[in-house]
Amino acid sequence: MRHLRGRQTSDNEIRKINKLDAVNLMVHVLNSVLMLIDLAIVGQPIRLSHAYWTTGIGVIYAIFTGIYFLAGGTNRRNSMSIYPLLDWSRPGKAIVISACGILFVFIVHLVVFCMYRLRVCLYTKVCIWTRNRRMKKMSTLGRTLSSLEDAQKENFLGPSTIIDVKM
């Protein structure tokens, strides 16, 4: 049994609040998948030095949940903790969970950076290599055309050429 504001609730009720349903899947899983697809397609550069933004947001959120608990905030079912894992009535566990979450966010940023580097590597191997092959073919074609033009000029102005000038 856990204490909520003014009443007790069972673990079964808490599981109902945090159940895996379509809304949770749409908000968390589908959103993450769409962002990974977006990162794979869009040419936005990712810098490893920008990890302080993602970790900073994690730190700010952890501090916010602690302040929210101290101020008496509740979730939608009047529970004192926003998430069952992040229960600040047990500060040791909440600090460990927050630190693990912040570390996880940093690791996700590292994975996203590796995806970016892979995308850049694939671009340079495939697109630039293809463009260089195309340019090489065009320069070969250009040399052939210029050789043909030189040959035509020689024949046009050669000693055996008869020019008929009419006035």
| All structural domains of the chain with their residue ranges | 1-42, 43-165
| Closest residue by Cα to residue 85 from 70, 73, 100, 71 | 100
Q: Which residue has the higher pLDDT, 43 or 96?
A: 96
Q: What's the farthest any 2 CA atoms get from each other in the chain? A: 115
Average pLDDT, the chain: 78
pLDDT in tens, 124-148: 888 777 777 766 666 655 555 555 5
Q: Which residue has the higher pLDDT, 76 or 116?
A: 116
DSSP calls for 59-128: HHHHHHHHHHHHTT---TT--SSSSSSS-TTSHHHHHHHHHHHHHHHHHHHHHHHHHHHHHHHHIIIIII
Q: Tell me the average pLDDT across 37-63.
A: 90
